[in-house]
Amino acid sequence: MKRWLITGASSGLGYECCQQLLQRGDSVVATVRKPGALDALSARYGARLQVILMDVTDSAAIRTGVEQAFAGGARIDVVISNAGYGLFGAAEELSDAQIARQLATNLTGSIQLIRAVIPRLRQQGGGRIVQISSEGGQIAYPNFSLYHATKWGIEGFVEAVAQEVAAFGIDFILAEPGPTSTGFASGLDYAEPLACYQQTASGEMRRALASGEFAIKGDAARTVALIIAHSDSPHPPLRLPLGSTAFTHIRDALRQRLNEMEPLEQDAYRADGV
């Protein structure tokens, strides 16, 4: 039986992770922002579910929550950093407050959680951190510029930190789902649209999302089952694309970048000083 720490557990992939892990007999420490969000699961699974109130935009609260999760020398086998949401709008349309909240939740919050758990995992002799990223950590859609900034940012952070802590038996998985039926769209924070963007790629994306034309192929339960399966693996991949949309988009983007870069090799070398 494993013990897991999951942030943002009140909905979406976080809630589905809680359900599947508790159903199979594991123990879960789940963080939520609002009291009562997991009362039904608590009633069903009792002491195997510990619920902690925590807002990931509050770094002090993150440290306190992590202390509670590891209290008394309790071991956490896997940490799932899941808390986050989407901000939708052309970059010009976004308010300063919207930008600050998006960065504080998705990027700074994830960074501070990882920083808080590393000493605990190191002291217990190792562990695994699963960062819920997105296909949007490697590709980009119009109107999601700040969301992509957080996902590209956390992927770079994780890739560096993974090298720093590998010697301590700590490793990472960057889970990269494509569009998935998690209620993500209903939780979007929308910017006030500007008329000048109506006939641009931004306007097309807004209409596609509003009309339902934007395809959502991913299944939340299957996505979580794969995240758990790879978390159980002794040697998981650093990056785990989830869904046909994610795999295709990421593969095609990587190929395009390589095709665009290779003709620049000679120019790149000319920038060397020796």
Confidence of residue 27 (pLDDT cuts 50, 70, 90): very high
Q: What is the pLDDT of residue 67?
A: 97
Q: Is residue 47 part of a domain?
A: yes
* Mean of pLDDT values over 119-128: 98
Q: Is the pLDDT of residue 30 over 80?
A: yes
Q: Is residue 273 part of a domain?
A: no
* Mean of pLDDT values over 96-105: 98
Q: Is residue 212 part of a domain?
A: no
pTM: 0.96
Q: Is residue 69 part of a domain?
A: yes
Q: Is residue 202 part of a domain?
A: no
Q: What is the pLDDT of residue 187?
A: 85
pLDDT tens sequence across 208-254: 988 888 888 899 999 999 999 999 999 999 999 999 999 999 999 99
Other Cβ atoms closer than 10 A to 39: 10
CATH of residue 166: 3.40.50.720
Q: What is the pLDDT of residue 214?
A: 84
Domain range for residue 24?
3-85+98-182+217-264
Count of structural domains, the chain: 1
Q: What is the pLDDT of residue 23?
A: 98
* Mean of pLDDT values over 83-89: 96
Q: Is residue 111 part of a domain?
A: yes
Q: Is residue 176 part of a domain?
A: yes
- Output the average pLDDT for the chain: 96
CB 38 within 8 A of CB 113: no
pLDDT tens sequence across 148-192: 999 999 999 999 999 999 999 999 999 999 988 887 877 899 999
Q: What residues are labeled active site?
A: 133, 147, 151
pLDDT tens sequence across 253-265: 999 999 999 999 9
Q: What is the pLDDT of residue 185?
A: 77
pLDDT tens sequence across 37-47: 999 999 999 99
Q: Is residue 230 part of a domain?
A: yes
Confidence of residue 274 (pLDDT cuts 50, 70, 90): confident
Burial 254-268 (b: 16+ CB within 10 A, else e): eeeeeeeeeeeeeee
Q: Is the pLDDT of residue 103 over 80?
A: yes
